[in-house]
Amino acid sequence: MFAEKIRQLRENKHLLQRQVSAALDMDNALYCKIERGDRIAKREHVIKLAELLDGNEEELLKYWLADKVYDLVQSEENVNDVLNIVSENIVEYKKNKLL
């Protein structure tokens, strides 16, 4: 998801992985893994990527987070049940947060 998006963006700009990873001050092996989805980027990298590749930061962050969420729940049988519990209880969660 996130991986595909940044690859698209990079290719649209005709940039090499090497160039992007240099701009992010990151080993290109690591960038490669991120772009292939076998490593998850850090939040700060997502933000830099959005800027660098002229992507929509908010959107990229959402896909990046979605990947992390999936990562967390993938082992569960009924992923949707879990997502629904979260969704239905957001307000409640926020309340408890204040304590």
Partner DNA sequence: TGTATATTTGTCAAATATTGTCAAGTCAAA
Partner DNA sequence: TTTGACTTGACAATATTTGACAAATATACA
Asked if residues 41 and 57 have their Cβ atoms less than 8 Å apart, the reply is no
86 belongs to the binding site for a second copy (CB under 8 A): yes
* Class of residue 73 by CB neighbours under 10 A (exposed 0-12, middle 13-18, buried 19+): middle
* Of 63, 52, 24, nearest in space to 32 by CA: 24
**Choices 9-17, 19-27, 45-53, 75-83; region in contact with a second copy by CB under 8 A:** 75-83
How far apart, in whole angstroms, are the C-alpha atoms of residue 96 and residue 99? 6
With CB under 8 A as the contact rule, the residue among 8, 12, 56, 80 that binds a second copy is 80
CB of 79 to DNA, least distance (A): 17
Interface residues with DNA (CB under 7 A) are 16-18, 26-30, 32-33, 35-36, 38-42, 45
Which residues form the interface with a second copy (CB under 8 A)?
1, 37, 58, 61-63, 65-66, 68-70, 72-74, 76-83, 85-87, 89-90, 92-93, 96-97
